[in-house]
Amino acid sequence: MAQPVRMLTPPERRRQNREAMLDAIREVSIEIMREQGVAGLSLHEVARRVSLRVQSLYKYFPSKAALYDALFRQAARLLAENDRQVWEGTAPTWERVDTWLRSRLDFAQRHAPLYDLLTGAAVPGFSPSPESLAAAREIGEMGTRAIGDLVQAGIITSGIPPRRAMNVLLVTGRGIVAETLGKERMLDDPDRFADLIPDVLDALRVAWSHERSDS
C-alpha cells in the first residue's frame, strides 16, 4: 500500500523556497560574470533576471560583497571537491600530477567566472571573509599533503618541501589556464597549452630528482 505523501509545513515550504531563490541568484550571478567579467556583477541586473526588486534581493544577500563572498565559497567548495577526487583517486606517482593539472584546466574552462574570482580577479570593494579564506586555504593544504605523499614515496627526491613544490605546481597550472582561456579565441589548436603538460612534467621530474642547491 502506498504511503501517504507528507505535506510540507509552512516553515519547510518557506525554507525550500528560500533555498531555491538563493540557488537562482547564484546561478544568475555566474551568468552575468561570464558575460561582463567578474567585476561586472550588478545587483540591479541580478534582481531583474530573477524577477525581484533590488530591495527584496537584500533579504537574501545584504550587499554585493556578501553575494561575492557566497560565490567565492561556492567556488572553493567546487574546486576542493575537484581536487579531492584527483588526490584520493590517484596513486602518488607523476600521473597524479598530470591528472591534477588537466583537471584544473578542465575546471577553469567549465567554471571560468568562479575560478577567476577564487584565484584573485580584482573586484573593487570586495575582500573574502575569514571563513571564505579558510576554505580556500584548505585547498592548498590538501594539495600540499598530496604532494607530500610523492616525497614519502620517493617520487620527488630533491629535498624541496611539499608546500614549495605545491606552489610551483600552482603557478604552473595557473599559467596554463591563463594562456588557454586568454587566447582560446585566437588559437587554431585549443589544446596548444594543455599539450605542454608532459613537457612540464618531464622538466620537473628531472629537476626534482636531484638534491637542491641553495647557493
Which pLDDT tens digit goes with each residue over 139-180? 999 999 999 999 999 999 999 999 999 999 999 999 999 988
Percent of the chain predicted with pLDDT > 90:
79
For residues 163 and 144, give the distance between their C-alpha atoms in angstroms, rounded to a whole number.
Answer: 5
- What are the structural domains, with CATH classification, of the chain? 7-62 (1.10.10.60), 73-207 (1.10.357.10)
Question: Which triple of cell numbers denotes residue 72?
Answer: 567565492
Centre a 10 Å sphere on the Cβ of residue 184 and count the other Cβ atoms it contains.
12
24, 56 in Cβ contact below 8 A? Answer: no
Q: Write down the number of H helices and E strands in the chain.
A: 9, 0
For residues 72 and 69, give the distance between their C-alpha atoms in angstroms, rounded to a whole number.
Answer: 5
| pLDDT the model gives residue 215 | 44
State mean pLDDT over 28-40: 96
71, 112 in Cβ contact below 8 A? Answer: no
DSSP state of 40: G
140, 100 in Cβ contact below 8 A? Answer: no
For residues 131 and 76, give the distance between their C-alpha atoms in angstroms, rounded to a whole number.
Answer: 11
Q: Decide which of 121 and 205 is more confident.
A: 205
Computed over every residue of the chain, the mean pLDDT equals 91
Cα 49 off chain centre by: 25
pTM above 0.85, yes or no: yes
What confidence tier does 17 reach under pLDDT thresholds 50, 70, 90?
confident
pLDDT digits (tens, 9 = 90+) for 69-109: 999 999 999 999 999 999 999 999 999 999 999 999 999 99
Question: Which triple of cell numbers denotes residue 128?
Answer: 573574502
Question: Which triple of cell numbers denotes residue 31?
Answer: 551568468
Q: Calculate the CA dihedral of residues 95, 100, 101, 103 and round it to 10 degrees.
A: 120
What confidence tier does 190 reach under pLDDT thresholds 50, 70, 90?
confident
